[in-house]
């Protein structure tokens, strides 16, 4: 296909995901790249490519929406373009269309596609981080700890010879253990999470225990996993902060590189997670990973 290519500046179209320090950074957007087809359905991603003297590292971004809603068009990390990172915002099958693990299969297919096309677009396919918010944070964390896990690699896309491995993971207010999340949730959290999990797993976690474990990052962590940055608000009424503590503790128990950045007073999402201070946290983390 011939993708629509737009020349933009960061000041246009990103709302509160924009940091003032990056407002003048120029970039090019390549929209609606087809990275795979499933049952005749095209899976799409958008590429944001900053001006750079050499191919920049790549962040693969996964949107939220309780696994059942949301769009690749919601990409709040625009400030990181000004820090010299390319970003791919990935669309994936939502749960009204396909149950887990379809979502992870799609995201891993996108990473393989991006690696397979690194000579076509100006980014460095050797330096790939994955990031996501809310349900996307859960999926990003799961991708980060499951390189080579057969049930989660899937066979989506035409670049199966490429690796879906990432070199760093950034999870914004995501889930990590679907077997404990309901017990940790507020009444509001339960009102959101129970129907979302029903769609994701085809039943509640206690009814789909093995699938819930497969979908829980805490059960996949091993010493080969890349560094992890968790960002979570301590007043989150929807995604319990204990989910971040569980994954942080699992990484720590194995001596893996992990940072938990708690936003005191923050709830579930909002501009504070993508402001100038948090942009520095994320870019500093990525730099520490060599990305």
Q: Where are the alpha helices (DSSP H) in the chain?
A: 102-116, 135-144, 150-153, 181-184, 187-201, 209-214, 241-253, 276-288
Higher per-residue confidence, 19 vs 176 = 176
Q: What is the pLDDT of residues 30-54, one digit of tens each?
A: 999 999 999 999 999 999 999 999 9
16-25, 47-56, 241-250: range with lowest mean pLDDT: 16-25
Q: Are 104 and 154 in contact (CB under 8 A)?
A: yes
With tokens 């994955």, the residue in question is 130
Given strand 168-172, what is the order of strands in its sheet?
4-9, 26-38, 41-50, 86-90, 57-62, 124-133, 168-172, 228-233, 258-263
pLDDT exceeds cutoff 80 at 15: no
- The structural domains of the chain, ordered by start, are 4-288 (3.40.50.1820)
Whole-model pTM: value is 0.92
pLDDT exceeds cutoff 80 at 5: no
Structure-token pair, residue 16: 């509160």
Averaged pLDDT for residues 209-237: 98
Q: Which residues contact 220 (CB under 8 A, 6 or more apart)?
A: 142, 145, 146, 149
Q: What pLDDT sits at residue 25?
A: 61
pLDDT exceeds cutoff 50 at 213: yes
Residue 203 pLDDT grade (very low, low, confident, very high; cuts 50, 70, 90): very high
Strand partners, 33: 45
Q: What pLDDT sits at residue 96?
A: 97
CA distances for 179 relative to 17, 60, 65, 119, 189, angstroms: 32, 27, 20, 42, 15
pLDDT exceeds cutoff 90 at 73: yes
Q: Are 83 and 57 in contact (CB under 8 A)?
A: no
Q: Tell me the backbone φ, ψ of residue 79, rounded to 5 degrees.
A: -60, -25
Cβ-in-10-Å burial (0-12, 13-18, 19+) of 156 comes to buried
Percent of the chain past pLDDT 70, that is, above it, reads 91
Residue 189 pLDDT grade (very low, low, confident, very high; cuts 50, 70, 90): confident
Percent of the chain past pLDDT 90, that is, above it, reads 89
Q: What is the pLDDT of residues 81-121, one digit of tens each?
A: 999 999 999 999 999 999 999 999 999 999 999 999 999 99
pLDDT exceeds cutoff 60 at 167: yes
Q: What pLDDT sits at residue 23?
A: 45
């Amino acid at each position: 296909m011939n993708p629509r290519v737009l020349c933009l500046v960061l000041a246009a179209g990103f709302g509160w995901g924009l940091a003032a320090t990056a407002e003048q950074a120029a970039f090019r957007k390549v929209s609606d790249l087809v990275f795979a087809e499933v049952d005749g359905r095209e899976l799409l991603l958008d590429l944001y490519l900053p001006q750079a003297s050499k191919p920049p590292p790549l962040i693969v971004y996964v949107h939220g929406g309780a696994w059942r809603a949301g769009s690749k068009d919601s990409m709040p990390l625009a400030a990181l373009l000004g820090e010299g990172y390319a970003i791919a915002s990935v669309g994936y099958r939502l749960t009204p269309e396909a149950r887990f693990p379809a979502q992870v299969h799609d995201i891993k297919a996108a990473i393989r596609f991006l690696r397979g096309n690194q000579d076509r677009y100006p980014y460095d396919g050797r330096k790939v981080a994955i990031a996501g918010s809310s349900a996307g944070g859960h999926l990003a964390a799961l991708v980060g700890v499951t390189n080579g896990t057969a049930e989660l690699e899937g066979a989506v896309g035409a670049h199966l010879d490429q690796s879906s491995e990432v070199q760093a993971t950034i999870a914004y207010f995501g889930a990590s253990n679907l077997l404990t999340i309901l017990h940790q949730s507020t009444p509001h959290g339960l009102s959101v999470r129970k129907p979302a999990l029903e769609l994701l797993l085809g039943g509640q976690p206690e009814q789909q225990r093995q699938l819930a474990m497969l979908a829980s990052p805490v059960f996949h962590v091993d010493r080969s996993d890349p560094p992890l940055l968790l960002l979570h608000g301590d007043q989150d009424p929807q995604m319990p902060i204990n989910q971040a503590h569980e994954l942080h503790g699992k990484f720590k128990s194995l001596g893996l590189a992990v940072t938990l950045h708690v936003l005191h007073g923050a709830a579930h999402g909002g501009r504070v997670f993508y402001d100038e201070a948090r942009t520095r946290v994320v870019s500093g983390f990525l730099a520490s990973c060599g990305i």
